[in-house]
Amino acid sequence: MATLAHLSDTHLGFRAYGRVTSEGINQREADVLATFEATLEAILARNPDVVLHTGDVFHQVRPTNHTIVQAQRALIQFQLRRQGKPFLMVGGNHETPRTVDSGSILRLFESIPGLHVAALEPMRIELKELDLEALLVPTRALERDEEIRWEPVLGCSISILGLHGMVSEALPDHAHLSIFETQPDRWTYVGLGDYHVRKKFAANCAYPGSTDYTSSNVWEESTTPKGWIWFDTDFGEIEFVPTQPRPVLDLPRIQADGLSGEELTAKLLQNAEWDESLRPIVRQVVENVSLGCRMGLTRREVQALQKRALHYQLDLRKAASESMVSSGEAFGSLETEWAHHIQAQAWESDIEAETLIQLGRDLLRRAGHEIEETEA
């Protein structure tokens, strides 16, 4: 018997929103690292025999020195405290270089006691002390369509498959393979990485999802908890253990038909119910916003509201009657679009929206664009 902790898609080095900590580190980068450290701490508390990380340890092929140093330090501490017990790591698409001669950053961890890293090539290993066989399959092996024998071959009592890739049962359009190809019933446990939303295919086979919100569309993931997986081979059932990342809130949509700017401001404030101390990441979609309504928003109140979140994205969508509709997208003239965009986005900065709009118009004129002087 053995116990296993499976985490994936930690995306260290991920950045967003341009907010920085008192040390000048991007706030989301610091968040994502803190979630990683807290995850390792939670795993240590349960003291598993094996840890499996199924890829996208890092968000980029070449992370910053800060991110590399922090990750290395966290992993060394972790392995020291668990006396170098096995830690299996698989290369994901985010950290895989386009050319092999660049090498993989994950190889840095090979020298840490207990770390087994399959960065670019598949790796089959035997852990005699646990009577355990593991097959580790990084993204690159799937992308190159390498011949892989999807079954245990060493006759150990425990067998683990770890891979970073998309299965058609999760995202059919971006799939590397079907979950059936991996033959989950032949393995004690099949751990998957790449898909950021947790998804279970069988009692012994799942994506744990990412540990924090690191996708380009975090709103889609906002209703699914983030976390990692605990698996006891005796028990044979996946337990999902949640992490506690900074919350992401996609607020209920507002329909602005017939609303004045002041009325919409009141609705925005009404919808803004969250625990301020958590400084969440928030999106508010408003549909059918007329230009008059947009211009009439109470700037000071919206700014005060934005200060209660790490990031408050006010997504004002135009009323159909105010846009020229072509192929499903609405466009006005370049300067109108510019003015709309700045009106919608300038809340967060201290720059006067009008000044910015005028600067844009001046630049357009300098670039030889004819400005319709009737535009507001």
**Can you give 86-138 as a three-state secondary structure string?**
CEEEECCHHHCCCCHHHCCHHHHHHHCCCEEEECCCCEEEEEHHHCEEEEEEC
Contact stretch for Mn ion (CB under 5 A) within 4-12, 23-31, 227-235, 358-366: 4-12
Query: Residue 126 — left, alpha, or beta (φ > 0 → left; ψ -120 to 50 → alpha)?
Result: beta
Q: Is 66 exposed, middle or buried (0-12, 13-18, 19+ CB in 10 A)?
A: middle
Nearer to Mn ion, 11 or 82 (CB): 11
- Out of 4, 5, 7, 9, the residue judged to bind Mn ion by CB under 5 A: 9
> Nearest distance from residue 230's CB to Mn ion, in Å?
21
Q: What are the beta bridge partners of residue 89?
A: 53, 117
Residue 69: what are its φ and ψ, rounded to 5°?
Answer: -60, -45
Judged by beta carbon, residue 166 or residue 286, the one nearer Mn ion is 166
Residue with tokens 């997504």: 315
State which residue, 53 or 340, has the beta carbon closest to Mn ion.
53
Q: Which of 68, 364 has the CB closer to Mn ion?
A: 68
56/221 with CB nearer Mn ion: 56
198: tokens are 């947790």
Identify the bridge partners of residue 149 per DSSP, sorted by sequence position.
none
What distance in Å separates the CA atoms of residue 347 and residue 337, rounded to the nearest whole number? 17
Q: Which of 56, 95, 221, 335 binds Mn ion (CB under 5 A)?
A: 56
Please say which residue, 9 or 29, places its beta carbon nearer to Mn ion: 9
Q: How far is the CB of 88 from Mn ion (least distance, A)?
A: 17
59: left (phi over 0), alpha (psi -120 to 50) or beta: alpha
- Give least dist CB 60 to Mn ion, A: 11
212 binds Mn ion (CB under 5 A): no
* Part in contact with Mn ion (CB under 5 A); list of ranges 54-62, 110-118, 250-258, 299-307: 54-62
Nearer to Mn ion, 137 or 344 (CB): 137
The least CB distance from residue 9 to Mn ion, in Å, is 4
- Which stretch, 1-9, 26-34, 75-83, 299-307, contacts Mn ion (CB under 5 A)? 1-9
User: How near is the Cβ of 112 to Mn ion at its closest, in Å?
Assistant: 22
Tokens standing for 8?
A: 């994936």
Q: How far is the CB of 63 from Mn ion (least distance, A)?
A: 14
By CB under 5 A, name the binding residues for Mn ion.
Answer: 9, 56
